Amino acid sequence: MHELGIVKHVIAQAEKTAEENGAERVLKLTLEIGEVSSIVPSYFTDCFEWAKKKTRLMRDTELEMIILKAVSYCTKCKNTYKTTEHAKICPYCKSAETYLVTGNEMTIKDMVIE
Amino acid sequence: MGKVRTILLNQSVLADNDGEAQRLREELKEKGTFLINVMSSPGAGKTTLLVGLINRLKEHISAGVMEADIDSDVDAVRVAEKTGCKSIQLHTGGMCHLDAQMTRQGLEGLDGLPRLIFLENVGNLVCPAEYDTGAHLDAVLLSVPEGDDKPLKYPLVFQKCGLVIITKTDAGDYFPFDLQKCIRNIRLRNPRADILPVSAKTGEGMRELSEYILNKINGKEKT
């Protein structure tokens, strides 16, 4: 449950960018969040809706969260598989020599300003 | 109505913290201070380990401790009383972790920088892993009573750290803890982490850990 801390950083960076670009307000903010990034989207949204009211430029900002699927790659058999179903162990060859290709993203993608 | 524009950012949600952490790390390096971020679950023995370590290290180098907790100053008082070194308490005000800005504020409160500073993070294996504090070394404690499967349950903190200290090895007879299995589980998450088993109570492994830290300070540093 660290969503509020992350929301604080997201808002600070978005407001700074908005100010640098001479915006009067931020209409929309889009984030890319990996499925296994440890952010719970519903908690994040609740925290964002609360925190944005305390800002100058983001009181009415719409938040969009694009959820990216988690995919792991096995270095033994060269297959990819769904991380959320099989975690660290490759379902094809049972090797543990696997790594996450996508799924831990926590990125501010873009924002629409006016 | 003003003109509507889209601005592409594609930056980490924690990019501001990562930048601040990197600046802090470089500033400390210039000033000759080595910062170690100590993370673990509550009760893994961070404070006891630090007291034992500082008492071994203090004849070699000056050391200080920043204790981060949600409330109270019991840890800072205990470290100061038992080691005589500089110790301050940081309150995170309910936050479950420290970030680089909070670390900087703590350093300003230390009144002069010793050669080595331990940052005792909030007892938590989840959130502190996300935030770079500006430390030169991230260390995680895993105590024997917690079980050898902990790295499987809390992957990120083990994946990001440079050192895993297995604590309370003196309790090995009382818990079904398999050291080799534990090491394998850590390796699954992090093939490069250094792993040192210790008991702050009996002193087992403490000399090796002290030497490891002195070598880190005098040699290779995270840049």
CATH code, A3-69+103-113: 3.30.2320.80
B1, B8, B97 ranked by CB distance to A2: nearest: B97
- For chain A, give me the number of helices (H) and strands (E)? 3, 6
> Model confidence over A21-77: pLDDT tens digits?
999 999 999 999 999 988 999 999 999 999 999 999 999 999 999 999 999 999 999
Structure tokens, B42: 């509550």
* Alpha-carbon distance values, B2 to A4, A26, A30, A48 (Å): 31, 11, 20, 25
- For residue B183, the distance in angstroms to the closest alpha carbon of chain A comes to 14
Residue of B8, B13, B20 for testing the chain A interface, max A β-carbons within 10 Å:
B13
List of chain A residues whose C-beta atoms are within 8 Å of the C-beta of residue B131: 5
> Model confidence over B121-148: pLDDT tens digits?
999 998 899 899 999 999 999 999 999 9
> Model confidence over B72-109: pLDDT tens digits?
888 888 989 999 998 999 888 777 888 999 999 999 98
Only one residue has tokens 């604080």, namely: A8
List of chain A residues whose C-beta atoms are within 8 Å of the C-beta of residue B13: 6, 9-10, 13, 31, 106-108
* Coil, strand or helix at A15: helix
Verify whether the Cβ–Cβ distance A114 to B156 is below 8 Å.
no
Domain segments of chain A as ranges: 3-69+103-113
B10-217: what CATH class?
A: alpha beta
- For residue B214, the distance in angstroms to the closest alpha carbon of chain A comes to 33
What pLDDT does B72 receive? 82
Q: Give B97-127 as a DSSP string.
A: S--HHHHHHHHHHTSS--SEEEEE--S-SSG
* Coil, strand or helix at B12: strand
Calculated CA dihedral for residues B181, B187, B192, B195, nearest 10 degrees: -20
Q: Are strands B34-39 and B137-143 parallel, antiparallel or unpaired?
A: parallel
List of chain B residues whose C-beta atoms are within 8 Å of the C-beta of residue A26: none
Beta bridge partners of A102: A71
Domain segments of chain B as ranges: 10-217
Chain B residues touching chain A at CB-CB below 8 Å: 1-17, 95-97, 99, 126-127, 130-131, 152, 155-156, 188
